[in-house]
Amino acid sequence: MKPNGLSRELAGIVGEDGVLWRRDDLMLYEYDALSSMRQPDVVVFPRNTGNVVKIAKAAMRHNLPLVARGAGTGLSGGSVATEGGVLLVFSRMKQILEIDLENQRARVQPGVVNLDLSMAVADDGYYYAPDPSSQRACTIGGNVAENSGGPHTLAYGVTTNHVLALEIVLPDGEVIHTGARHWDRPGYDLTGMFVGSEGTLGIVTEITVRLSRKPEAVKTLLAIYSETADATRTVAAITARGITPAALEMMDGFCLRAVEEATHAGYPMDCAAVLLIEVEGLKESVEEHADEIEAVCRENRAREVRRAKSAEERDLLWKGRKTAFGALGRITPNYYVQDGVIPRTRLPEMLDFITALEKKYELHIGNIFHAGDGNLHPLILYDERNREQTAQVIKAAKEIITRCVEMGGSITGEHGVGLEKSDLMPLIFSENDLDLMRRIKDLFNPHGRLNPGKVLPTGKMCGELRGGLLGGGPV
Amino acid sequence: MDSPRGRIYQMIQVEKGRLPLGESFVEHIDLCLDCRACETACPSGVEYGKLVEAARAQIEKHYHRPPLATLLRKLFYYEILPHPRRLRAAGKLLRLYQRSGLEAVLRATHLLSLFPGRLDRVAELAPRMEAPFFFDRLGTTVPAEGLRRFRVALFAGCIANLSFARLNDATVRVLARNGCEVVIVPDQVCCGALHVHAGIRDVARNLARRNIQAFTGRGFDAVISNAAGCGSVLKEYPLLFEEEGKEFHQPAREFSANVRDVTEFLAEIGLTPKLGMMKLRATYQDPCHLGHAQRIRTAPRKLLAAVPGLELIELKEAEVCCGSAGIYNVVHNEMSDRLLEGKMRRIDETRADLVLTANPGCLLQLRAGVKREGRHQRVMHVIELLDEAYRLAG
């Protein structure tokens, strides 16, 4: 087997060791954290913006799709080349180019791992606020594409609230810059438009982000409940008091038992649900808010409210929460995580609905929610080798999302639309809305070669592909 | 571009018949350090070490490596390592080479750099042969100092008999000082860790059988290893008898249950006091097969905390492999060098004068790193430090 003309051309740009073209190697890029789908025609690892420009031009000459990929941790199929083409992988563009603490900003390449940036400035008392649970692995480039959130989204917002400026390569190789390094910028907010565009408008090659100062004090509380409904009622009650915790997470007892087995963080094994609540700020106010929250928890029949006594204990609780999806791997080989949003006042109702679905489809569903902002992550457990069960999973997931929309919510909170949910877009957008998005896309990506088949419904994104989404294996 | 996630994906595809057991698969599985850091990180509890070792056994069975590689592997894994007498002979040859001045000549003239590959870099990693070899001590028993609290056996290793003879001596002294009668049983052989990592399970199984027989039924309170890699495989002997030689599974379980890393054992029984003052700024690198595979992280730190005057600065990324990984630094020298470079940078950050670890392979690698970078730090096994501290106390 020999490399084809395109592979040789790309090797001329990034070197022989920067291109993968053998089928056996391409196979490693046919999946992300959603599922396995299709191989790209070639994988290329650029080292700088100049490389990306040349690669984009080569893809244009060969009229091939161009898809960007970070760490492949995405949960909506966004970084899989579902129509083949050139897959740009950013694992060699992982330099922090500049840290400017005085102005609270950093300039990074897209392949920088989220947590690595926070670690780099931790000793100086700063951090990068968006904290997806996969932050040990996922890249900032990927976070920008998906507009990722995390547990602390509740207080600090999502990725778009922390991106100041972008360098972008358009599909014809043109380089543009959006935003500004300072916090105010005149003109259209193009940065805001690119963040969350999932690689369909341009390829981001450099990102200037805001760095945040670590709070003076942090208190982490664990409220333990014997009834799930009490936990969900507490969520609305806390915010009704006018307190905004930095994070307000819910995990049900089913998930907790797997999490505890994995982390030994001291999570109770016999409860129905817990809330993991964090308050940050000045020493004096934090203490007061923590007391107030504890009182609300108890009013709503919390069995016990614990406070982390040390930084280690706090880290362990968070480790448990952030590795929770993976921990469920101890129970079944596969899970399908949904990412829906509802008004937080309707959490109790939603949980009842999910419990009913479990019975209806004979499935196990674990519940891990960013409860404070109403972002649900029901985890439907299954074994992909069981075809029948897999089909049930897809049906149950669809019902959950539909119910979210009916409750006045959304089809995704933070995992993106990707391939997974493009056909659900009409549930929340009118034909006019979608048409405007299509026109914007055509402006930047006129031939549709950038990450084709993602975000916007294509019509051909049909049932059989969705059916094969989970465990169907590559198509 | 390599990751355990990708390797497991490849294993599944090989199993499904979608991916041939060919070049791509072998390349990625070979390049794995088998450091098992991914096991520490994995919330799902995937036992990756088991998987990669099984994959390597499949490769060994079904894949034909180039003739030279096959020859070298045969020689090293089959003809030398398992045979103490041949090991000793090889050690003597190497000692002659190092002492005769031939090595110095080759170094001075940079003759090795004329060879293809990275022979010159690899030669820097060769351990010094230490006379007298520890082989001479096999079959002896060292009494406990003072009251006998325990009766333990020392696992002496294979190459360690040649190049870590002084470390083994120090281990015996420290154990004796702590009330242990130390028996160095005569019939012990190589633990087979390198074989397990290379997928050569039949030889490993054979070595395991011989060791189990050599140590069993003699009433030891513990079998003690000062090499994390050896200790780790000694503790995992039962895995070798799950599919074949099942009659050895139970004896293997009994043997393994009694194996302790020397730091683990000492931390468990509590150090005899009276350690001399060691006014040093030190840092500690976790050996992968101690930290990740055996999950022993606090024991060595506890021992170090007991040394008066020693200031321990935590090394950032101490849990990341130094690149030694058995003979990985020889076989994949370039990748190993990259890891070592990063490690040396982190060590420099601590401004420590002393770098401690708990595994012979890591010692060699870190010493090569210090030398290469023209640094001054001393590199020692935790036990060597304790030995020195006891000596100072008199």
Name the residue with tokens 């008898």. Answer: B241
Most A CBs within 10 Å: which of B7, B10, B13, B313, as the mutation test of the A interface? B13
Nearest CA in chain B to A319: B43
Q: Chain A residues with CB inside 8 Å of B12's CB?
A: none
What is the DSSP code (8-state) at residue A294? H
Same fold, A96-213 and A332-417: no
Average pLDDT over chain A, rounded to whole? 92
Q: From chain B, pick out residues whose CB is under 8 angstroms from the CB of A324.
A: 43
| Pick from A24, A27, A327: CB nearest B43 | A327
> Is A326 close to B44, i.e. CB distance below 8 A?
yes
**A162: confidence class by pLDDT, cuts 50, 70, 90:** very high
A121-137 pLDDT per residue, tens: 999 999 999 999 999 99
List pLDDT tens digits, range A51-105.
Answer: 999 999 999 999 999 999 999 999 999 999 999 999 999 999 999 999 999 999 9
Q: Mean pLDDT throughout B372-389?
A: 96
* Per-residue model confidence (pLDDT) at position A462: 44
Q: What is the mean predicted confidence (pLDDT) over A178-195?
A: 87
Contact B1 A91 (CB under 8 A): yes
Q: Do A28 and B6 touch (CB under 8 A)?
A: yes
pLDDT exceeds cutoff 80 at A437: yes
- Angle A172-A173-A179 from CA coordinates, rounded to 5°: 110
Q: Reply yes or no on whether the pLDDT at A460 is more than 80.
A: no
Mean pLDDT of B92-120: 80
B195 - beta bridge partners?
none
Nearest Cβ partner for B45 among A27, A31, A330: A330
| Interface check B31 vs A, CB under 8 A | no
Contacts of A259 in chain B (CB under 8 A): 43
**At CA B368, angle to CA B367 and CA B372, rounded to 5?**
120
Residue A281 backbone class (left: φ over 0; alpha: ψ -120 to 50; beta: rest): left
Give the pLDDT confidence score for residue A129 in this predicted structure.
Answer: 97
Q: What is the CATH architecture assignment of A96-213?
A: 2-Layer Sandwich (3.30)
Q: What is the dihedral of CA B313, B319, B322, B323, to 10 degrees?
A: 180
**CB-closest option in A25, A27, A329 to B44:** A329
What's the CA dihedral at B243, B247, B253, B254 to 10 degrees?
-170
The angle subtended at Cα B217 by Cα B215 and Cα B218, nearest 5°, is 70
Res. A474 pLDDT band, cuts 50 70 90: very low
Confidence of residue A3 (pLDDT cuts 50, 70, 90): confident
Q: Which helix (H) or strand (E) holds B355?
A: strand B354-357
Nearest to A262 among B13, B24, B45 (CB): B45
What's the confidence (pLDDT) of residue B111? 73
Q: Identify residue A275 by its one-letter amino acid code.
A: L
Range B326-340 average pLDDT: 89
**pLDDT score, position A1:** 61
Residues from chain A contacting residue B45 (CB–CB below 8 Å) = 261-262, 329-330
**Closest approach of chain B CAs to the CA of A5, in angstroms?**
21
Could you tell me if A281 and A216 are in contact, meaning their C-beta atoms sit under 8 angstroms apart?
Answer: yes
User: Could you tell me which of A54, A48, A47, A29 has the C-alpha nearest to residue A39?
Assistant: A29
Give percent helix, percent strand, percent coil of chain A, each to the nearest 5. Answer: 40, 20, 40
Model pLDDT for residues A355-404, shown as the tens digit of each residue: 999 999 999 999 999 999 999 999 999 998 899 999 999 999 999 999 99
pLDDT at A99: 97
Is the pLDDT assigned to residue B21 strictly greater than 80? yes
In this complex, do B10 and A28 lie within 8 Å of one another by their Cβ atoms?
yes
Of B1, B9, B41, the CB nearest to A31: B9
| CB-based contact B46 A329, cutoff 8 Å | yes
For chain B, the C-alpha Rg in angstroms (whole number) is 21
User: Of B55, B29, B49, nearest to B37 (Cα)?
Assistant: B49
B10: closest chain A residue by CA: A28
Cβ–Cβ of B43/A24 closer than 8 Å?
no
CATH topology for A217-324 is Alpha-Beta Plaits (3.30.70)
Segment 212-271 of chain B within 8 Å of chain A by CB: none
Q: Is A379 helix (H, G, I), strand (E, B) or coil?
A: strand
Quote the mean pLDDT of chain B: 93
Q: Which residue of A has its CA nearest to B14?
A: A24
Of B245, B213, B247, B211, nearest to B230 (Cα)? B211
pLDDT, position B116: 62
Residue A8 has pLDDT above 80, yes or no: yes
CB atoms within 10 A of CB B135: 17
**How many angstroms separate the first and last alpha carbons of chain A?**
23
- Integer Cα distance of B392 and B394 in angstroms: 5
pLDDT at B345 over 50: yes
Q: Label residues B293-307 b or e (16+ Cβ within 10 Å = b).
A: bbebbebbbbbbebb
- Which of A16, A24, A123, A475 to probe the B interface (max B CBs under 10 A)? A24
B10 lies within 8 A of chain A by CB:
yes
Distance, CA of A474 to CA of A38 (rounded, Å):
5
Instruction: Give the percent of chain A with pLDDT over 90.
Output: 85
Domains within chain B, CATH numbers bracketed: 4-62 (no CATH), 268-393 (3.40.50)
Task: Please compute the mean of the pLDDT values over residues B88-101 and round it to a whole number.
Answer: 90
Interface of A with B (CB under 8 A): 20, 22, 24-25, 27-28, 31, 45, 89, 91, 136, 259, 261-263, 323-330
The domain made up of A332-417 has a fold known as: Alpha-Beta Plaits (3.30.70)
Q: Which of B16, B24, B39 to mutate to test the interface with A (most CBs of A within 10 A)?
A: B24
Question: Residue ranges of the domains in chain A?
Answer: 96-213, 217-324, 332-417
B 37-56 residues with CB < 8 A to A = 41-46
A464 pLDDT band (50/70/90 cuts)?
Answer: very low
Q: Would you say residue A35 has pLDDT above 90?
A: no
Q: For residue range A226-276, list pLDDT tens digits in order.
A: 999 999 999 999 988 888 899 999 999 999 999 998 888 889 999 999 999
CA–CA min distance B43, chain A (Å)? 5
pTM for the model stands at 0.90
| Helix-strand-coil split of chain B, %, nearest 5 | 55, 10, 35
Taking residues B165-174, what's their average pLDDT?
97
Is A27 in Cβ contact with B19 (below 8 Å)? yes
pLDDT in tens, B187-242: 999 999 999 999 999 999 999 999 999 999 999 999 999 999 999 999 999 999 99
Is the Cβ pair B18, A89 closer than 8 Å? no
- Which residues of chain B have a CB within 8 Å of the CB of A263? 43
